[in-house]
Structure 1
Amino acid sequence: MKKILCSVLVFASLTGAFAQKIASVTTKVKAPFGTVTVTSPDFKKAKKFVITDFGAVPGDKQKNSQAIAQAIAKANEQGGGIVVVPKGEWLTGKVHLKSNVNLQLDKDAVLLFSEDPNDYLPAVHSTWEGMECYNYSPLVYAYKCENVAITGEGELKAKMEVWKEWFSRPKPHMESIKKLYTDAFNYVPVEQRQMVNDTAHLRPQFIQFNRCENVLMQGVKVTNSPFWTIHPYLCKNVVLRDLKVYAHGHNNDGVDPEMSQNVLIENCVFDQGDDAIAIKSGRNPEGWRLKTPSKNIVMRNCTVKNGHQLVAIGSELSGGIENVFIDNCQVLDGAKLFHLLFIKTNERMGGYVKNIYMSNVKSGKIDLGILGIETDVLYQWKNLVPTVIKKLTPIESVYLENVTATDVKFVSRILGQKELPVKNISLKNVNATTIAEKKDIHENVVNFTSK
């Protein structure tokens, strides 16, 4: 009898804890390649956990870090909830999210992240430029979570004093990433790829959702970043909506969906020191090992104030990239941009690129051109490590329609490889007011049409 009663009490306790089951919302987007369906969490009826109730005090990094962690744990334990950061500036270290938790920043709330690298230890399972490793924790990190969100009208801001010193890439840093590259090629277990030391200085991402499902970011402002700003990695169902992203440091892409699927980026404003959106799928053996393409990605109704490209694809694309739709976006006059769409790879990447669509995009002056496709982009890797395995990247089925710019050097520059030409590229009503050099610059391209 006691055993039965105990079991009933345990069951009641568990069912009570999970009574707040988080609801979900489904968004469907019609794209040229089919309908993209994205599921995101709905926290409208969830209980709130205010960080001041857990001991948060403005200006006290230690108390705030502990209070946020305790509030997240409590919300998770009770089956879900909203962790509220109220008005004010709250200095903190790392924030690790859990399933069924929404981190909500109220209006005039600033979550200010410490510049001390020690605040982002111990090392966690993360990545560096398409290779998995154990590195400093991203400032905001969610690992293997479901129904996770960051919402509100407030701001997440990174202090940059130390990270700026790490922007340079001296020889010890290059030797460290060379070792990581070699470990990845030798399929060394990720747990053994420990990259926190005095020489690597691999800067962490600001916000990384790692192996998560049903992710939502909505409304917040994100300012500064040590490295990539928002990084959905091996995720399914990601909605990034109404964000204002500003980061002008080294490698400060706005959003880097990597090996992620069913991603919707809409109504966002990007002001970046690098690409606004950079779609990736792992570097070399990592993409081959994980075999997870990035696909079904929609970017619509977004504005770019600055950035290297509106959308970049690659160069880390060894897992493949397909079904991308960019629609109704604008690049403001005065933005410093290289391309609107830039597809980049090299002889080491393998993978593939197909079914890429861009439509209804307007831009002012572009430093280079509207469409760029290059197959020999190696950056610092050119002389750092030799080609171990040669795998070319098939690139096909890229469609641009109703895309305009003012001043460009070219409309399209496509530099394919003789062994594997780029094929099936269509430009319809793609124009520039002034073309400084040549409209189309092509090498090794099959079935290119322009109307």
Structure 2
Amino acid sequence: MNRKFLLLVLALVAIFNADNFAQKAPVYSWQNLPKIAQPSFKKDTFNITKFGAKPDGISLNTQSINKAIEECSQKGGGVVLVPQGIWLTGPVVMKSNVNLHLKKSATLLFSTDKSQYAIVEGFYEGKRAARNQSPISGTDLENVAITGQGIIDGNGDVWRAVNKNQLTDEQWKHKVASGGVLKDDGKVWYPSEQFKQASVGGKSMLLLDGKKPSDFQDMKDYLRPNLVVFTRCKKVLLDGITFQNSPAWCLHPLMSQDLTLRNLYVKNPEYAHNGDGMDIESCKNFLIENCTLDVGDDAICIKSGKDEEGRKRGMPTENGIIRNNTVYNGHGGFVVGSEMSGGARNIFVSDCTFMGTDKGLRFKSVRGRGGIVEHIYAKNIYMKDIAQEAIFFDMYYFVKFATDTPRDERPVVNEGTPIFRNMKFENIVCSGANKGVFVRGLPEMPIENIQLENLTLQSEIGAEFVDTKGISLKNVTFHANKTKPVISVVNSNSLTFDSVKYPTSTELLFSISGDRTKAIAVKNTDSKNTKNKVEFTDKASLNEFIFSEK
């Protein structure tokens, strides 16, 4: 068969399959949200005290709790009851058809004895890695839950390093007196000498080159576990519990389906390194509602693997509902990335409040990640005292370059090029931020088709768009204190600003920069409140800017 003809046939087959898949795939909207299947359980109850558990905070109850869970599952499932008290334990392994239920005033407290936690194969930031066994874990399960009004405490302080500048003087004195070792410059506290050597030496925990978990014994103390990890599970429910003080990420469902996280309080210290609240990774069909988070890193975060390993996994995080949640402290309120190489899509975020987070809606990636993030929708989002940006997109996550470095580099688009597109954010209020909107794509792959509608943003700086395409703002009010300019556009194409309001006596409304900037349209916007309507720099063309007075 002719090679060209064969290639044509294969291309047509690929197009047919893609179109066929598109027709079968469900189309979600605010009127047709994803459906999440719920677990159900028998009423049979297995009280952990019947298996020898003692609530004195001293007796180690690992064996008793796991025996109760095992027997419950073997007998067809039901409720494993944790009564009030402090129940000291090592790792708890969940089983199918078991609802671990903590009564009010019950605390499941995980042991500080690290020998209780075996080194196992896990994942670290989207890649296979050696980790200490999670305090709570479950793999290949179906119909599983952790419910009640109790507390699950990971005793994370014994696992984490902390910088001196993150603590008060009194807290630092207490930390140093508790044991551990200091970095040679005295500015970092480590839990142990082993942790220090692994950290300072930049040792990797990744399972590369045929390495096994047992090969990492010399850096065991450095392999901090996530508090709760469910891997390849179906129909998972977390409801009512306080999860706190995790060694690393707090809640980490991975490659799982039909998840419900409801009425949770997720709490980590502000100084907790990798102290994320919820990391939903490569999961399908999930609901996060009525939760409160106060954490040391990103709060509600969407992930799907990292770089080539994540792309080979090929499992996007998709079909999610996130509503009626409150975030107090965190690097971001709602976050996508940066480990999103498997993609993310069909996620609906609504009726959430972010109070004092570093960023509000946060999207981040970098060259080499790959992955497609699209069909993300947010509405009725309320923010206060945001330290940095209220709405943030950046494809240069953790990339450092001088401000005067030319940014016209355009490498060839390949499988490692991240794509962020097709999103709509509406009805958003921010009372206090450094910057209202920041969107920075890549020269070779602009961030595309982001609709911002009905926004009121009180911030020091208005908005900045760099390497974007098809961005539209409609009915947006900027209460920008530093008003030169209110809106900056750099090397962007096909941007529309409709009904923009801004402070009176504004020095400069628009700064248009870059010879790749094309088709910037402003309409239904009054220019009488600004001394200078627009400024053109760096080869930007007046012919590419159309301002239609209101």
Confirm or deny a common fold (TM above 0.5).
Answer: yes
2:255 is aligned with 1:234 = yes
Measured after TM superposition, the shift of residue 379 of structure 1 is 6.9
Out of 426, 437, 462, the position equivalent to 1:412 is 437
Measured after TM superposition, the shift of residue 246 of structure 1 is 0.7
Provide structure 1 residue ranges, at least 5 long, that are not aligned to the other structure. Answer: 1-28, 381-386
Measured after TM superposition, the shift of residue 378 of structure 1 is 3.2
Counterpart of 2:437 in structure 1: which amino acid?
S
Measured after TM superposition, the shift of residue 60 of structure 1 is 6.4
Q: TM-score, normalised by structure 2?
A: 0.70
Equivalent position of 1:8 in the other structure = none
Equivalent position of 2:44 in the other structure = 47
- 1: distance between equivalents of 2:443 and 2:206? 31
Equivalent position of 1:25 in the other structure = none
- 1: distance between equivalents of 2:160 and 2:137? 21
2:352 is aligned with 1:356 = no
Asked if 2 retains the 8 angstrom alpha-carbon contact of 1:133 and 1:190, the reply is no
Out of 134, 139, 162, the position equivalent to 2:135 is 139
Equivalent position of 2:424 in the other structure = 399
Asked if 2 retains the 8 angstrom alpha-carbon contact of 1:370 and 1:411, the reply is yes
Out of 109, 112, 115, the position equivalent to 2:109 is 112
Equivalent position of 1:12 in the other structure = none
Asked if 2 retains the 8 angstrom alpha-carbon contact of 1:158 and 1:225, the reply is yes
Measured after TM superposition, the shift of residue 134 of structure 1 is 3.6
Superposed counterparts of 1:165-180, under 5 Å: 165=161, 172-173=198-199, 178=204, 180=206
Per-residue CA shift, 1:82-131, capped at 9, x if unaligned? 1110011111111000111111001110111112221111x333211111
Measured after TM superposition, the shift of residue 367 of structure 1 is 1.2
Provide structure 2 residue ranges, at least 5 long, that are not aligned to the other structure. Answer: 1-26, 163-188, 401-410, 475-550
RMSD: 2.5
Asked if 2 retains the 8 angstrom alpha-carbon contact of 1:142 and 1:210, the reply is yes
| Cα distance change of structure 1 residues 196 and 209 upon mapping to structure 2, 3 Å threshold | farther
Equivalent position of 2:315 in the other structure = 292
Out of 337, 349, 368, the position equivalent to 2:388 is 368
- 2: distance between equivalents of 1:60 and 1:81? 26
| Cα distance change of structure 1 residues 140 and 442 upon mapping to structure 2, 3 Å threshold | same
Bigger Rg, which one = 2
Aligned-partner SS, 2:417: coil
- 1: distance between equivalents of 2:306 and 2:373? 14
Equivalent position of 1:17 in the other structure = none
2:285 is aligned with 1:262 = yes
Asked if 1 retains the 8 angstrom alpha-carbon contact of 2:452 and 2:472, the reply is yes
Counterpart of 2:440 in structure 1: which amino acid?
L
- 1: distance between equivalents of 2:47 and 2:111? 21
Counterpart of 2:69 in structure 1: which amino acid?
I
2:119 is aligned with 1:85 = no
Q: TM-score, normalised by structure 1?
A: 0.84
Equivalent position of 2:227 in the other structure = 206
The size of the alignment, in residue pairs, is 405
Counterpart of 1:436 in structure 2: which amino acid?
E
Measured after TM superposition, the shift of residue 189 of structure 1 is 5.8
| Cα distance change of structure 1 residues 178 and 157 upon mapping to structure 2, 3 Å threshold | closer
Equivalent position of 1:220 in the other structure = 241
Asked if 1 retains the 8 angstrom alpha-carbon contact of 2:348 and 2:376, the reply is yes
Measured after TM superposition, the shift of residue 289 of structure 1 is 2.0
Counterpart of 1:414 in structure 2: which amino acid?
V
| Cα distance change of structure 1 residues 422 and 93 upon mapping to structure 2, 3 Å threshold | same
| Cα distance change of structure 1 residues 151 and 306 upon mapping to structure 2, 3 Å threshold | same
Aligned-partner SS, 1:317: coil
Equivalent position of 2:36 in the other structure = 38
Q: Percent identity?
A: 34
Counterpart of 2:442 in structure 1: which amino acid?
Q
Aligned-partner SS, 2:39: strand
Counterpart of 2:388 in structure 1: which amino acid?
L
